Structure formats: structure tokens, C-alpha cells
Amino acid sequence: MKFTVSSSALLSLLATTGKVISNKNTLPILDYFLMELSGTELKVTASDLETTLVGSIQVESVESEGTIAAPVKQMLDSLKEFPELPLTIEVNDKNWEIKISWKSGSLSIPGASAVSYPAVPQLQAERKELTLDVDVLVNGINKTIFATADDELRPVMNGVYLNLQPASLTFVGTDAHKLVKYEAECENEVSAAFILPKKPANLLKTVLLKEEDAITVSFDSKNVRFELKNHTLVCRLIEGNYPNYNAVIPAANPNKLLVDRIELVNGIKRVAVCSNPTTNLIRMDIADNKITLTAQDIDFSMSANETISCSYEGLPMSIGFKSTFLVEILSNVDTPTVLIELADSTRAGVFKPVYDDKQSSSTLMLLMPMMINA
């Protein structure tokens, strides 16, 4: 195996695919990239058994094809030190030595036989397939991934739930305290749902930023495959039934308030300094087009309050939220004004971005309240 390649193109490919690799691999071979050269296409595969990412680039001056397992750390560490220049890579088929040469020098690192590298999981014949818009997928993941859980007892909450319907695609993330539902208009031929784990969702988010064309998504009951221009991501799905998220979204919220999002976030951050560190409780008293934010830590005799003007329709009410979750929700709203819909102090608050024009998607965020002492 011998070919010439741009140092920066190879580094970019290895750095992207290398994000899959786990620090605690069960198989030693997973600390290696699988590099396959066929014609002028160099394919690089990285895997942690659950998720596999395959990327490819075109190379020049191919003298011989072949396959090699190249050590991840040594490959990345050595390539980082090069400016943009052509590198000649040659593999010794007998002792698996990888020799990298450039105009003024060379280095050699030990590779390994690729025989034991795990194969990319194949989907079953009865798989479902559809084409998705890049922006819909990126927005869906970005909007919901922060609300997913890290819960070993309820693994279904550790991923983003995708629900495909004939005219829409819904993304949901929840950890039982907060919930985000993002719905986009989307013509689908299939009706189905699956739970995408957090790690491949984050990887996909990174890789998709370089994409412009539509993406082919195919899945069966166990795995999903995303086919991009230069990458293919295959991952195992989270098995189990996702909670009925529509059941927890309050249908009637008579109390509605419109408020400047940045002003509210900054007010919460200032007042939260004096909140109890165990609960992070912040109280909101809403009446007469004003929100009074209050926090106190009785143990240390600390308290803070701030009043923010808003536009409010409804009865005077008080409700308590965990300040860290409240900031997280508001920070993930992408409009200057936010609409908060409330029923009473025991039911979840609903947060919605306020747009000037009609959108082809809708975002709804929900946060469970905390008990407050009247």
C-alpha cells in the first residue's frame, strides 16, 4: 500500500472519524483506524462497537492498494505537526510498519493487521429508508440534545427520540425535569420512530456542519445508518419504549407572559447567586406586568431579588424553578422574546420562542416546577 496525500486533508479526516473512539475500549484493535485504499479512494473507519464512522477522501499517486490498522494516537500526534504539504505513505505488508515521508524527512510508526477489525454492522433487508434535509436534522439535534438524561436506570431517556410522520418529523429530548419538543414540516414516505443515542447524535451534529446535500437515513429495529457525502455513520439504537411526552405537556395554560429573554436570563443568574446550593430554587412572583425573582439561602442568611417588566395576561401567581434548568432552557431559545405559559404552581411551565414571521418548525420547551413555601 503506497500513496500520496495532502497532510491537512488526511488530518481532517482522521480527526473527524477519531471522535468515535472511546477512551476505554474493550478490544485493543479499536485503538486503531482501519485504513483501506481502493483505487484513488482512501476509506478510514473508526468504531467503539456501538457507533462506527466511515470517512473517505481522494488521494494521489497510488502505487499499490491495501488495508492497514493504524494507531490512532500516533497518527494524529504526528500529522498535527505538519504544515500543508504532500505526504507519501507506504505500508510494509510483512511487518505492518507505516512509513510517512515528506520532502525533508520521514517517520515510521508500527501498524497492525486489519484482519481482526470489526465489520461495519449491516442493516436487515426489511429496513426503512428516507431522505432528510441537513438543516432539519442539525436543528432537531441541536434543540433537543441538551435536555437528554444520563440515567443508567432509564436508558431510553439517554438519547434523542425521532418520530417520523407523513408530514412532519419530531425530535424530543427529556430527563424527566425538562423536555424539549422540536417539530419540523417534512414530507416522509415512512411512519416510524427510533431513539438515537447521545454520542452519535453529537458526532452527527459535527459532521453535518460540512454537508449541503440531503442525507439518506436507513434503519431497522437495531441500527441506523446516516449516509453523507464523504461519511457514513452507523450506530446501534437505544431499545425500549419512549415515554408518552405529549401526555405531560399541559394543554390549557391560561396565564401567559412575554418577556425579554436576555434580561430574564441575566436577572436569574444574578439572583441565583444567593439561592440554596442544594436546590438552586428561584421563585417567580408574577403580577401587574412584572416578574419578581427571589432566591434565598436561609442557612447562610443570604437573599436576593430583582424585578423585571414583562407583558402578562392572567391571574397573579407564584411558581418556583431550579435556576440552572431555567437558564439552560432560556439559553437554548433562539429568539429575543420568549413566551412562557403557566397553569399554576404545581404544573409544568411551557416556554416557546416568539418569531416575527411564520416558521416551518415549532419548538416547545417544558420545565417542571419546584415546591415553594407560600
CA distances 297 to 142, 266, 274, 321, Å, are: 34, 19, 6, 15
Q: Under DSSP, is residue 227 helix (H, G, I), strand (E, B) or coil?
A: strand
Distance CA 74, CA 31 (A): 10
267 inside domain:
yes
Going residue by residue through the chain (374 aa), what tens digit of pLDDT does each one get?
999 999 999 999 999 999 999 888 888 999 999 999 999 999 999 999 999 999 999 998 889 999 999 999 999 999 999 999 999 999 998 999 999 999 999 999 999 999 999 999 899 888 898 888 888 999 999 999 999 999 888 899 999 999 999 889 999 999 999 999 999 998 887 889 999 999 999 999 888 888 788 899 999 989 999 999 889 999 999 999 999 999 988 888 999 999 999 999 999 999 999 999 999 999 999 999 999 999 999 888 999 999 999 999 999 999 999 999 999 999 999 999 999 999 989 999 999 999 988 888 899 999 999 998 75
Question: Same domain, yes or no, for 140 and 213?
Answer: yes
Q: Does 135 share its domain with 93?
A: no
**pLDDT value for 374:** 56
Residue 90: strand pairing partners = 2, 99
**Which CATH number is 159's domain given?**
3.10.150.10
- Structural domain ending residue among the three candidates 197, 228, 243: 243
- 341 shares a domain with 281: yes
Give the span between the Cα atoms of 236 and 223, in whole angstroms.
4
Q: Which of 110, 141, 157 is the last residue of a domain?
A: 110
Contact 134, 213 (CB under 8 A): yes
Domain that holds residue 137: 128-176+188-243
What is the structure's pLDDT at 213?
83
Name residues whose C-beta falls within 8 Å of residue 323's C-beta, 6 or more positions apart in sequence: 268, 269, 271, 272, 275, 280, 281, 282, 295
Q: How many CB atoms lie within 10 A of CB 252?
A: 7
- Number of structural domains (the chain) is 3
Residues 151 and 253 in one domain: no
C-alpha grid cell, residue 255? 396565564
Residue 372 falls inside a structural domain: no
Cell numbers representing residue 221 in the block? 429495529
Q: Is residue 117 part of a domain?
A: no
Which among 243, 258, 275 is the end of a domain? 243
**Alpha carbons within 13 A on the beta-carbon side of 141:** 20
Length of the chain counted residue by residue: 374
Q: What is the 3-state secondary structure (H, E, C) of 149-215?
A: CCCCCCHHHHEEEEEEECCEEEEEEECCCEEEEEEEECCCCCCEEEEEEHHHHHHHHHHHCCCCCCE
CA separation for the pair 92, 111 (Å, rounded): 9
Total-model pTM? 0.90
